[in-house]
A and B are shown apart, each in its own frame.
Chain A
Amino acid sequence: MSEVSSTQEFQYSSPRHQAESAISGMWLFLATEMLFFGPLFLAWIYSRHWNQQGFDAGAQQTELIIGTVNTLVLVTSSLIYTLGVSFIEAGDSRKLIQCCVGAWLLGLVFLWLKFGVEWRHDFERRLFPASDFAIDDPHRDGALLFFVFYFLGTAVHGLHMIVGLILVGWIIFRARRKEFSAGFYTPVSVVGLYWSFVDMVWIVLYPLIYLIGRGA
């Protein structure tokens, strides 16, 4: 008979079997996420192709410094989380918690900079695509389009961040109840995959928002 542990569900033959299924499930989910963001990026690049000057005019209004700092914050957050995963592989639950808290706080910093500071500035400067839009002709139309993508893209990414923070918080909660060990840390790995994916999305958004067209 196979070994039975309290975390093993009855349809699996072993904890390892269950772990493999959970991890491949997350990979497949991330594939669906890529296809979820895919049309946004495709439409973004396609629309830029036809409205280059407008998009450039829009990109020049974005806040490069906040964007860059946020990129660093997010990548660091993932790095720290991944360190946590390797700590729990070695059975160090205390260090895992520390890493998760660090990753969680950096995630919060990102959200605050993005929505608390940057979006507030954007709204104050009337960059939201509405009738009182700040950028005037001749590039008004293209810039409007740019900011549709900007707001939708960052909002959807932000939602994914919030989900990620909830998940990382859940890992902290479970780790504090001593549920993870060198023998069982599947949820930590699964959440780690998601948390890194959120980065990946940002890595595509960052040049689309801040870099392309800034020098034009």
Chain B
Amino acid sequence: MSAVIADTTKHAKSYLTDGTTIRSWLLTTDHKRIALLYLGSITLFFFIGGIAAALIRYNLIAPRGMIGSAETYNRLFTMHGVVMVWFFLIPAVPVTLGNFLAPLMLGARDLAFPKLNLISWYLYILAGAAALYSLIAGGVDTGWTFYTPLTTAYSKGHVVATIVAIFIAGFSSIATGLNFIISIHTLRAPGMTWYKMPVFLWSLYATSVILVLATPVLGMTLLLLAFERIFHIGVFDPAIGGDPLLFQHLFWFYSHPAVYVMILPGFGVISEIVPAFSNKGLFGYKFVVWSSISIAVISFLVWGHHMFVAGTSLYSALVFSILSFMVAVPSAIKVFNWIGTMHGGSVRFDAPMLYALGFIGLFTLGGLTGLFVAALAADVHLTQTYFVVAHFHYVMVGGMVSAYFAGLHFWWPKITGRIYPEIWGRVGAVIIFFGFNLNFFPQFLLGYYGMPRR
């Protein structure tokens, strides 16, 4: 009897109070604590990237710029891109909500490799330190895409430090993705078949497949880039028979699938929240699941749409254009399933649901404008304009950031044991939705009328 009592008191301790020293946090292998470590660190980078974004907008107030030179402006938008892509959007949902929820949803006590999970956080911190160093030392002016020969021969920024940062961050992503895949394969609770898994796990799985298979390609590409930058001779250098376009192929082979790393976990979050606030089961579970998987697969086959005007052959451009259109099919299936879930349900408009609804609207707009730029003829006009900027911000910010906030609100009580003030949650969701549209919708028009993006 006394043993039972001792046992319950032991379980009364939550993961938050079980050990309060800094050491107990920094050396933890508990997936919940690692999720919180990640939450803190990606929030920091979200603010850094956000400050850069605010400065970009501030600089754009006057035609000549409000702060410094065009060079400063280039460094601002590069830092904004690098920080937001690799230090916020790609890790955001998997490392926080994913780490926290995956074992709970699987019915496992932890992920398959808890130590690897902690290592991935330290890699992230190391990468973040390298990124901050390059920021403080003066930044980079190449854009987040690091095109050659600008990056290898002409840029005066701290290219190598930034490359090192992204390279290390890549290994952090790989570790996370590997952990999720193995956990989902081997740690499902007895009786939990694949089709009984919560749909969030499926989207984490699809995300992890991309992380694991695409990120290493970026790693080697960055190594080739760094070699060329350091020794002034390299494989992308046309002067000695190298091919700058090869860089774009390799870079986008990673970076297009990475776009889906940024949005797939968001799909998962929304697919959990919409049924919860509609008082109905998810409409078409298998369709949602398989659309995630097919998005992950097709995402590997569309990278060429970033190079329609870069001098690739017309036939390859045609194929890439058709394949890019195909991604729209599973994406649309998801949107219809969410709407089908709400149809006939008793929908409650709590904060997470408001964010989710915002997500559905903004993502749909972002996705549909994606078809404009995937069409060959339209892309010739729209490429390198603000239209593209608006398009991917609708997907990344309107979509992913909304989904991230939706998930944070939805699972906040689970994570912290406290409830947030509902009214402020709703106000936040509404402000973000309208503020976002106010900021980015005009960019569609600006771009359509030809305003260049940089």
Q: Give A residues with C-beta under 8 Å from B.
A: 9-12, 17, 20-21, 24-25, 28-29, 31-40, 42-43, 46-47, 50-51, 54, 129-130, 140-142, 144-145, 148-149, 152, 156
For A25, the closest partner residue in chain B by CB is B182
CB pair A33–B216 under 8 Å, yes or no, is yes
Given contacts A38-B217, A141-B239, A141-B240, contact A20 B178 (CB under 8 A): no
Bound Cα distance from A145 to B112, whole angstroms:
43
Partner of B224 from A28, A33, A39 at Cβ < 8 Å: A39
Known A-B contacts: A46-B243, A47-B242. Give 18 more (CB < 8 A).
Answer: A11-B112, A11-B114, A21-B182, A24-B182, A25-B113, A31-B213, A32-B213, A35-B216, A36-B216, A36-B220, A38-B220, A43-B224, A47-B243, A51-B241, A144-B233, A148-B234, A152-B224, A156-B223
Given contacts A46-B246, A47-B242, A156-B223, contact A39 B186 (CB under 8 A): no
For B220, the closest partner residue in chain A by CB is A39
CB pair B241–A141 under 8 Å, yes or no, is yes
Bound Cα distance from A36 to B250, whole angstroms:
11
Q: Which 8 A-B pairs have the closest CB atoms?
A: A36-B216, A141-B240, A35-B216, A51-B241, A11-B109, A39-B220, A11-B110, A21-B186
Bound Cα distance from A47 to B244, whole angstroms:
11
CB pair B112–A47 under 8 Å, yes or no, is no
Pairs across A and B, CB under 8 Å, 17 listed: A11-B114, A21-B113, A31-B212, A32-B178, A32-B213, A32-B215, A36-B219, A38-B216, A38-B220, A39-B217, A39-B250, A40-B220, A43-B235, A141-B241, A148-B233, A152-B224, A156-B223
B300 to chain A: closest CB distance in Å? Answer: 11
For B111, the closest partner residue in chain A by CB is A11
Describe A's contact surface by its main secondary structure. Answer: helix
CB pair A35–B221 under 8 Å, yes or no, is no
CB pair A47–B213 under 8 Å, yes or no, is no
Q: Give B residues with C-beta under 8 Å from A.
A: 103, 108-114, 174, 178, 181-182, 185-187, 212-217, 219-221, 223-224, 227-228, 231, 233-235, 239-243, 246, 250, 253
CB pair B233–A142 under 8 Å, yes or no, is no
A163 to chain B: closest CB distance in Å? Answer: 13
Residues of the B chain whose Cβ atoms lie less than 8 Å from the Cβ of A34 = 216
CB pair B227–A148 under 8 Å, yes or no, is yes
CB pair A32–B212 under 8 Å, yes or no, is yes
Bound Cα distance from A71 to B299, whole angstroms:
38
Residues of the A chain whose Cβ atoms lie less than 8 Å from the Cβ of B187 = 11-12, 21
B212 to chain A: closest CB distance in Å? Answer: 5
CB pair B220–A37 under 8 Å, yes or no, is yes
Given contacts A11-B111, A36-B219, A43-B250, contact A28 B241 (CB under 8 A): no
Residues of the B chain whose Cβ atoms lie less than 8 Å from the Cβ of A11 = 103, 108-112, 114, 187
Partner of A28 from B103, B111, B181, B235 at Cβ < 8 Å: B181
Residues of the A chain whose Cβ atoms lie less than 8 Å from the Cβ of B103 = 11
Bound Cα distance from A183 to B108, whole angstroms:
25
Bound Cα distance from A140 to B233, whole angstroms:
12
Residues of the A chain whose Cβ atoms lie less than 8 Å from the Cβ of B181 = 28
For A34, the closest partner residue in chain B by CB is B216
CB pair B186–A20 under 8 Å, yes or no, is yes
Residues of the A chain whose Cβ atoms lie less than 8 Å from the Cβ of B253 = 39
CB pair A35–B217 under 8 Å, yes or no, is yes
For B211, the closest partner residue in chain A by CB is A32
Bound Cα distance from A144 to B241, whole angstroms:
9
CB pair A10–B109 under 8 Å, yes or no, is yes
Residues of the A chain whose Cβ atoms lie less than 8 Å from the Cβ of B109 = 10-11
Partner of A25 from B110, B112, B228, B235 at Cβ < 8 Å: B112
B91 to chain A: closest CB distance in Å? Answer: 17
A9, A43, A129: most-surrounded residue (chain B CB, <10 A): A43
Bound Cα distance from A36 to B213, whole angstroms:
9
Partner of B233 from A9, A37, A130 at Cβ < 8 Å: A130
A28, A32, A129, A130: most-surrounded residue (chain B CB, <10 A): A32
Given contacts A35-B213, A43-B250, A54-B241, contact A149 B182 (CB under 8 A): no
Bound Cα distance from A132 to B386, whole angstroms:
46
Bound Cα distance from A166 to B202, whole angstroms:
36
Bound Cα distance from A145 to B231, whole angstroms:
12
A48 to chain B: closest CB distance in Å? Answer: 10
Residues of the A chain whose Cβ atoms lie less than 8 Å from the Cβ of B178 = 25, 28-29, 32
For B247, the closest partner residue in chain A by CB is A43
Given contacts A25-B113, A25-B182, A141-B239, contact A129 B250 (CB under 8 A): no
A11, A35, A39, A144: most-surrounded residue (chain B CB, <10 A): A39
CB pair A28–B182 under 8 Å, yes or no, is yes
Residues of the B chain whose Cβ atoms lie less than 8 Å from the Cβ of A42 = 250
Bound Cα distance from A156 to B216, whole angstroms:
13
Residues of the B chain whose Cβ atoms lie less than 8 Å from the Cβ of A40 = 220, 224
Partner of B217 from A21, A28, A36, A149 at Cβ < 8 Å: A36
CB pair A144–B240 under 8 Å, yes or no, is yes
Bound Cα distance from A33 to B213, whole angstroms:
9
Residues of the A chain whose Cβ atoms lie less than 8 Å from the Cβ of B250 = 39, 42-43
A206 to chain B: closest CB distance in Å? Answer: 19
Partner of A10 from B110, B214, B217 at Cβ < 8 Å: B110
B387 to chain A: closest CB distance in Å? Answer: 31
CB pair A148–B111 under 8 Å, yes or no, is no
A59 to chain B: closest CB distance in Å? Answer: 15
B305 to chain A: closest CB distance in Å? Answer: 20
Partner of B241 from A21, A50, A130 at Cβ < 8 Å: A50
Bound Cα distance from A26 to B109, whole angstroms:
21
For A33, the closest partner residue in chain B by CB is B216
For B212, the closest partner residue in chain A by CB is A32
CB pair A152–B240 under 8 Å, yes or no, is no
Residues of the A chain whose Cβ atoms lie less than 8 Å from the Cβ of B113 = 21, 25
For B253, the closest partner residue in chain A by CB is A39
Residues of the B chain whose Cβ atoms lie less than 8 Å from the Cβ of A9 = 114
